[in-house]
Amino acid sequence: NSYDLTDQAAIQVLQDTFSEKKLLTKTFVFVFPYRRPGEPPLIKGWLPYLGQGLNFQKAPSAFLKTLQKQHGDIFTVLLGGKYITFILDPLQFQLVTKNPKHLSFQIFSTKLISKVFSIEMMLTNQELNHDIHVCYQYLQGKSLDILFETMMQNLKHVFESKLLKTRNWDTERMLTFCTSVVFEITFTTLYGKLPDADRKKFISELRDDFIKFDDKFPYLVSGIPIKLLGNALSLRKKLTECFTQENLAKMQGWSEVIQMRQDTLEKYYEPDNSEIGAHHLALLWASVANTIPTVFWAMYYLLRHPEAMAALRDEIDRLLQSTGQKKGSEFFIDFTREQLDSLVYLESIVLEVLRLCSFSTTIRFVEEDFALPVESGECLLRKGDLVAIFPPALHKDPEVFEAPEEFRYDRFVEDGKKKTTFFKSGKKLKYCVMPFGSGVSKCPGRFFAACEMKQLLVALVTYFDLEIIDDKPVELSYSRMLLGIPHPTTDVSFRYRIKHFTS
Ligand code: HEM
């Protein structure tokens, strides 16, 4: 049993064993000398397998920035058994996404969902893979308008049933609060409602199990077998079983995207195959895992920046007035998607939060030895390695964003309009904030996520007085490394009280 890695604590022991204090009294950066001509410099570190994993995990951006100064914009790093070639120059990002024949997203992603969710058929069945992706069109266009309306109703329900009941100050932990609200709104918008008797219990159990499973996510991604991760296997089984035929039938009012996903799955699987539930769990994970911390960081920055809160409230008030909506004690907000999208400060705040907090990295698998045509000539990539676009390097680049470490709520507003033009080396950048990935793997739920974040922030700042209680800075936790939006290292307390409106 002493070899049984039961949970994060055990992994922490492993990490501590190789920690700075015990082994890395100096930073050893070892450049592996045996490279073929044309290959980027390789930075291995001297720890077998882990390579530079621990240095990277401590502060990914700072670590890569140091390497960039030493080796230029393109170099390979050994991280947890994987050789990853990083491309840090935003003007060369498209090299990776424009070469799908040699640099495969599918091989990387299907391996990942097999490890994390135990979905095996995607590894071999191209048609299923294709058909699953076709379903994502129902997260856009007219389908998104329907989702937006349903989401607004679900937001209203959550506010009326939980939040608007408070009369005095209520204190909550911010991440716990965001998790509860985002989880319920997202789940009911996608999967519909359960009978009233079951609803509360089902959703809170699903959410609590989901959070415990999500805690194991980085370890599953890094390839640690699920059996070594304590109760991760039983949690995954339980979560998957929430989407059995019987349970799915109880959910009334599926969105189009879920209806299409289920129809597609039924074409490929027997009705009682547990992989159907695993596909639903994967989508549920994708739909909340990044939205929750993003809403957290947005609330956190808003509450710590009164000038941002004031600008946002003012902008919402003007929209309420121009649409003839009166403030009152009932849930009164009723905005369309276009109206929310016209709020330039709201958009800027969301973008600024994503600029500061997103670590979403676009990763591709090198299918064959391949010469990537880069600005300085050719960059030889080895079969089996990974290539990564790392947008945080762009997000924190002082040449692109003045004072990049600061939260500036109006960074993306210019002359009262959305500011979209940013430059590097005198050249206009195609994208300046990239939280949703790029190319074929660009997040299909990005519009859904934007709607949800905007609806929720507007409702929170309109209905409540909000105050942060723990007014100390909170750090990003890098345990998820390259995967989306980091959680905070600690949760923070805040209090909220319903606003009293005079009519
Ligand atoms: C702030 C919130 C979100 C962020 C930052 C985010 C980010 C991302 C990123 C970076 C990827 C690409 C991963 C890769 O390249 O391997 C991705 C994929 C994906 N996202 Fe999101 N996402 C968010 C919200 C959502 C929502 C709300 C949904 C669904 C309603 C969703 C559904 C998906 C799906 C299904 C994929 C996989 C696409 C594929 O396999 O090609 N995401 N997301």
Compute the average pLDDT of residues 387-411: 96
* Residue 106 beta carbon below 6 angstroms from any ligand 1 atom: no
Asked if residue 456 has pLDDT above 60, the reply is yes
Cβ atoms < 10 Å from Cβ of 446: 15
Task: Tell me how far the alpha carbon of residue 161 lies from the centroid of ligand 1, in angstroms.
Answer: 29
* Residue 28 Cα to ligand 1 middle (Å): 36
168 is in an annotated binding site: no
CA 108 / ligand 1 centre spacing (Å) = 15
Q: What is the pLDDT of residues 168-196, one digit of tens each?
A: 899 999 999 999 999 999 999 999 988 88
Residue 33: pLDDT over 70 = no
Average pLDDT over every residue of 485-491: 95
**From the CB of residue 397, how many other CB atoms can be counted at a distance below 10 Å?**
18
Q: Whose CA is nearest to atom 36 of ligand 1?
A: 443
β-bridge partners, 379 = 372
Pairwise pLDDT comparison (332 vs 333), residue with the higher score: 333
The residue among 450 and 332 whose pLDDT is bigger is 450
* Single-letter amino acid code for the residue at 189: T
- Reference 372, options 361, 385, 360, 354; nearest CA is 385
Query: Given a cut of 60, is residue 21 above it in pLDDT?
Result: no
293 lines ligand 1 (CB under 6 A): no
pLDDT in tens, 272-328: 999 999 999 999 999 999 999 999 999 999 999 999 999 999 999 999 999 988 877
Q: Is 247 annotated as a binding residue?
A: no
* CB of 441 sitting under 6 A from ligand 1: yes
Mutate to test the pocket of ligand 1, among 436, 447, 452 (most ligand atoms within 8 A of CB): 436
Q: Distance from the CA of 149 to the center of ligand 1, in angstroms?
A: 21
445: helix, strand or coil: coil
Q: Is the CB of 485 under 6 A from ligand 1?
A: yes
Domains and CATH numbers, the chain: 89-118+126-498 (1.10.630.10)
**How many angstroms is it from 484 CA to the middle of ligand 1?**
9
Q: Could you give the CA distance from residue 215 to residue 449 in angstroms, rounded to a whole number?
A: 21
**Confidence at residue 503, expressed as pLDDT on a 0 to 100 scale:** 52
Atom index in ligand 1 nearest the CA of residue 112 equals 16
pLDDT value of residue 18: 43
Write down how long the chain is.
503
Q: Which residues in 153-163 are b (16+ Cβ under 10 Å) and which e?
A: ebbbbbbeeeb
Does residue 281 sit in helix, strand or coil? helix
Atom of ligand 1 nearest to the CA of 442: 12
Taking only the tens place, the pLDDT of each residue in 42-54 is 998 888 878 898 8
In ligand 1, the atom with minimum distance to the C-alpha of 485 is 5
Whole-number pLDDT of residue 401 = 98
486 lines ligand 1 (CB under 6 A): no
| For ligand 1, mutation pick of 113, 188, 285, 290 (most atoms within 8 Å of CB) | 290
Ligand 1 centroid from CA 372, angstroms: 27
Mean pLDDT taken over the chain: 90
Please give the Cα distance from 117 to 53 (Å, whole number): 24
List the structure tokens of 8. 């994060």
Position 72 scores a pLDDT of: 94
The candidate with the shortest Cα–Cα distance to 278, out of 242, 249, 322, is: 242
Residue nearest to atom 43 of ligand 1 (CA): 443
Which residue carries 């409230």 as its tokens?
313
443 annotated ligand binder: yes
- Ligand 1 atom showing the smallest separation from residue 438 Cα: 15
Separation of first and last alpha carbons in the chain: 67
Could you tell me the pLDDT band of residue 502, with boundaries at 50, 70 and 90? low
Query: Which of 135, 188, 292, 443 has most ligand 1 atoms within 8 Å of its beta carbon, as the pocket-test mutant?
Result: 443
Q: Is the CB of 484 under 6 A from ligand 1?
A: yes
User: Does ligand 1 lie within 6 Å of residue 188's CB atom?
Assistant: no
Beta carbon of 294 within 6 Å of any ligand 1 atom? yes
Q: Write down the pTM of the prediction.
A: 0.91
Query: Distance (Å, rounded) from C-alpha 159 to C-alpha 162?
Result: 5
Which positions ≥6 away from 149 have C-beta within 8 Å?
Answer: none
